[in-house]
Amino acid sequence: EVQLVESGGGLVQPGRSLRLSCAASGFIFDYYALHWVRQAPGKGLEWVSGISWNSGSIGYAESVKGRFTISRDNAKNSLHLQMSGLTVEDTALYYCVRAAVGDGVDVWGQGTAVTVSS
Amino acid sequence: QLVLTQSPSASAPLGASVKLTCTLSSGHITYAIAWHQQQPEKGPRFLMNVRSDGSHNKGDGIPDRFSGSSSGTDRYLTISSLQSEDEADYYCQTWDTGIHVVFGGGTKVTVL
């Protein structure tokens, strides 16, 4: 079974850091690009960051550029998002998602909640 | 700039059909999109990819009453024989050169 399982969310104070992780299983990990997508309470889906299969191409939404860093470890089938300088606007459910080359997102994790509050 | 536009809401009676539209910004007429469904209090799930020629491929277990089509810069999701469990938010999504992903604002479907 294809699975993406996020972890690392929690309650954090503004300005602090947090590291999210995503463990993948059930598919050939390094065939796919991976992304982080978030959803603030009551809002729509927002792309946060993405990384190609070999980490050769990386992108960030303007809202997180310079504060978040995406990385992957193909040997461990894992994806990470290092978040720093967190603000209340970063409060959201963060999803790890998979995308095939030339295709859209086709697998979603269950999400991990990040709450930024003092 | 790559932008996806969706109507905020749509509704139809139980058992009827509803057709959702996702419009690509001009200059992006050849782009494919993906449709995702998010039922209340659940995470999103992939429904299908829809290409500019109207061809589409669905995710595992997606019922036949979900179908996709295309015309110009519009990409459609048609839900036939609406069921109560189809009441959900529907998002279209596409991808740009490099590694950027774009989502539409979502359409809330209400089953009357």
Query: How does residue B99 score in pLDDT terms, banded at 50, 70 and 90?
Result: confident
Q: What is the pLDDT of residue A103?
A: 78
Q: Do B95 and A99 touch (CB under 8 A)?
A: yes
- Give SS3 for A66: coil
The closest of B77, B74, B86, B25 to B56, measured between CA atoms, is B77
Q: Do B43 and A110 touch (CB under 8 A)?
A: yes
Q: What is the pLDDT of residue A102?
A: 74
Kind and range of the H or E element at A19? strand A18-25
C-alpha distance from B100 to closest chain A C-alpha (Å): 6
pLDDT at A101 over 80: no
pLDDT at A104 over 90: no
Strand partners, B111: B12
pLDDT at B98 over 80: no
Task: Name the closest residue on chain A to residue B94, using Cα atoms.
Answer: A104
Which residues from A are below 8 Å from B99, CB to CB?
33, 35, 50-52, 57-59
* Per-residue pLDDT tens over the stretch B37-96: 999 999 999 999 999 999 999 999 999 999 999 999 999 999 999 999 999 999 999 998
Name the least confident of A10-14, A50-54, A56-60, B95-99. B95-99
Q: How many angstroms separate the most distant Cα atoms in chain A?
A: 42
